[in-house]
Amino acid sequence: MPSKVTLAEKFAGFSEQWAPRIVARYEGHEVRIAKLEGEFDWHSHTHDELFLCVDGELEIEFRDRTETLAPGELLLIEAGEEHKPVARKGEVQVLLLDPENAPNTGDPETATVAVEA
Amino acid sequence: MPSKVTLAEKFAGFSEQWAPRIVARYEGHEVRIAKLEGEFDWHSHTHDELFLCVDGELEIEFRDRTETLAPGELLLIEAGEEHKPVARKGEVQVLLLDPENAPNTGDPETATVAVEA
C-alpha cells in the first residue's frame, strides 16, 4: 500500500533536467515529475499526456499556438499533437502523467527512461 | 485541442462539496477537482484512485493507518483499498484521477456524478 508522496521532497532528490522520475503508478500509467529548462525537441506521442506546472513558467508550443503554464495550471496534450515544451525563464518543475514505459520524446531511441524517484 | 486549465479558476466556479468536477480527460480517465469538508463514507473502488492535495489538510483513513496530505502531497489509493477521506480543519481542495464515469463512492447508487467544471 503506497504511502503519501511529498512532491517537494521528491524534487529535492534529483537535479537532472528532462529526466522524468516516477512518483506513483495509477492504472497502468506513471505519475512522473521532471525538471525542465531550455528547449525540448518537437515530438508527439501515441497517447495523451498531462502536464501540471508545479513551479516556474512553462511554455508548450504547438504548431498553431503556444500555451503558457504557471503553477497550478495543467494542460492535456492529445495523442498525436506535436508539441515542444520550453522553459525560457529558468527551471520549471512539472508533474506529468504518461502510460507506463512511454518514451518522453515519443521515440524509444531518443527517450530518457523514467526511473523511480 | 484542449486549452490550459487554471485550477484556481475552476475551484472558484463552484461551491458544492463532495461533488467532483471534471477538468481534463486523459486516456479514458478523468482529471477531477473537488471541495471536501467533514467526513466521507468508508468505501473502495474497483480501480486505483489518485489524490493530490491542492489546498487545506486532508486525512485519508485506512483500516490500519491514516495518511495526512498537505498541499503538494499526493497519494495513490489502490483498487480495493478501503478508505475514508476526512477534512477536519476546514475545506480542502483536491485534484483526483479516476476512470471515466467511476462513482466517487465506489457505488453508482450513492455516487455524486462528476460533471464538467
DSSP assignment of B75-106, as one string? EEEPTT--EEEEEEEEEEEEEEEEETT--TTS
Q: Looking at the domain assignment, is residue B106 inside a domain?
A: yes
Nearest to A6 among B27, B29, B72 (CB): B72
Is B88 part of a structural domain of the chain? yes
Task: Please give the grid coordinates belonging to residue A67.
Answer: 500555451
Structural domain contains residue B1: no
What long-range pairs does A103-106 form, CB within 8 A, spacing at least 24?
A103/A45, A104/A18, A104/A20, A104/A34, A105/A41, A105/A43, A106/A43, A106/A44, A106/A45, A106/A46
Within a domain: residue A54?
Answer: yes
Q: Which residues of A touch B (CB under 8 A)?
A: 1-8, 23-27, 29, 31, 47-48, 50, 52, 54, 62, 67-70, 72-76, 78, 81, 95, 97, 99
Give the global pTM: 0.96
Residue B19 belongs to some domain of the structure: yes
A64-99 per-position pLDDT tens digit: 999 999 999 999 999 999 999 999 999 999 999 999
Angstrom distance (rounded) from CA B44 to CA B17? 19
Residue B2 within any structural domain of the chain: no
Q: Within a domain: residue A48?
A: yes
Residue located via cell numbers 506521442: A45
Query: Chain A: nearest CA to B35, how far in angstroms?
Result: 16
Query: Which of A3, A74, A78 has its CB closest to that of B7?
Result: A74
Domain with A62, as residue range(s), is 10-72+83-116
pLDDT tens readout for residues B8-64: 999 999 999 999 999 999 999 999 999 999 999 999 999 999 999 999 999 999 999
What residues have CB less than 8 Å from B65, skipping those under 6 apart?
Answer: none
CATH of the domain at A64: 2.60.120.10
Domain count, chain B: 1
